[in-house]
Amino acid sequence: MKKTKKSRKAPSTGRAKATKKIAPQQNSAGKARAEGMRLFRLAGRPTREQFQLVYGERGHSMTWSERAKAGVPASKFQAALKAKQSGR
Q: What is the mean pLDDT of residues 9-33?
A: 76
- In this structure, what DSSP letter does residue 72 have? -
Parse the chain into domains and list their residue ranges: 30-86
Cα separation, 21 vs 31, whole angstroms: 20
Contact 56, 41 (CB under 8 A): no
Backbone dihedral angles phi then psi of residue 22, each to the nearest 5 degrees: -100, 125
Please check whether residue 11 is in contact with residue 19, taking contact to mean a CB–CB distance below 8 angstroms: no
Q: What is the pLDDT of residues 24-65, one digit of tens each?
A: 776 888 999 999 999 999 999 999 999 999 999 999 999 999
Q: Are 43 and 77 contacting, i.e. CB atoms less than 8 angstroms apart? A: yes
What is the distance, to the nearest Å, from the Cα of residue 39 to the centroid of all Cα atoms in its chain? Answer: 10
As a whole number of Å, the CA-based R_g of the chain is: 29
pLDDT band, residue 74 (cuts 50/70/90): very high
Distance CA 20, CA 30 (A): 23
Q: Of 3 and 31, which is predicted with more confidence?
A: 31
Q: Is the pLDDT of residue 87 over 90?
A: no
Give the model's pLDDT for residue 50: 96
